Amino acid sequence: MAAIDPCSEVYPGLNADFQSTQSKTVALTFDDAPDPQNTARTLDDLAAAGLKATFFVNTNNQMNVANDATAQALLKRIASEGHTIGSHTVDHIALDDLSTTRIEYELGGLETTLASLGIATPKLFRPPHGTPFIRADADTPRVASVVRRHAVTVLWTFGGNPTLDWDCDANVQCVLNSYLSWFQSGTSGIPLMHAVKAGTAGALPQLLAAGKAAGVNFVSVDNFVQERYGMSPAAVVSHINSTCPDAGWAAASASSAAASSGNSGPGRRGGPGDPSNPGGPGGAGPGGPGPRGGGGPVLLELTDA
- Over the window 265 to 304, marking each residue x when it contacts Zn ion by CB under 5 A and - when it does not, the resulting string is ---------------------------------------x
Residue number, 78 or 240, with CB nearest to Zn ion? 78
Which part of the chain contacts Zn ion (CB under 5 A), choosing from 13-21, 27-35, 205-213, 241-249? 27-35
Residue number, 96 or 304, with CB nearest to Zn ion? 304
CB of 124 to Zn ion, least distance (A): 14
Interface size with Zn ion, residues (CB under 5 A):
4
Among 32, 91, 111, 301, binds Zn ion (CB under 5 A): 32
User: Distance (Å, rounded) from C-alpha 194 to C-alpha 270?
Assistant: 13
User: Distance (Å, rounded) from C-alpha 79 to C-alpha 54?
Assistant: 10
User: Distance (Å, rounded) from C-alpha 88 to C-alpha 305?
Assistant: 9
CB of 88 to Zn ion, least distance (A): 6
Which residue's Cβ lies closest to Zn ion? Answer: 31
Among 12, 30, 31, 224, binds Zn ion (CB under 5 A): 31
Q: Does 45 bind Zn ion (CB under 5 A)?
A: no
Phi-psi region of 295 (alpha: psi -120 to 50; beta: other; left: phi over 0): left
User: Distance (Å, rounded) from C-alpha 164 to C-alpha 166?
Assistant: 5
Residue number, 20 or 62, with CB nearest to Zn ion? 62
User: Distance (Å, rounded) from C-alpha 183 to C-alpha 265?
Assistant: 40
Residue 161: is it exposed, middle or buried by C-beta count within 10 angstroms (0-12/13-18/19+)? exposed
Binding site for Zn ion (CB under 5 A): 31-32, 304-305
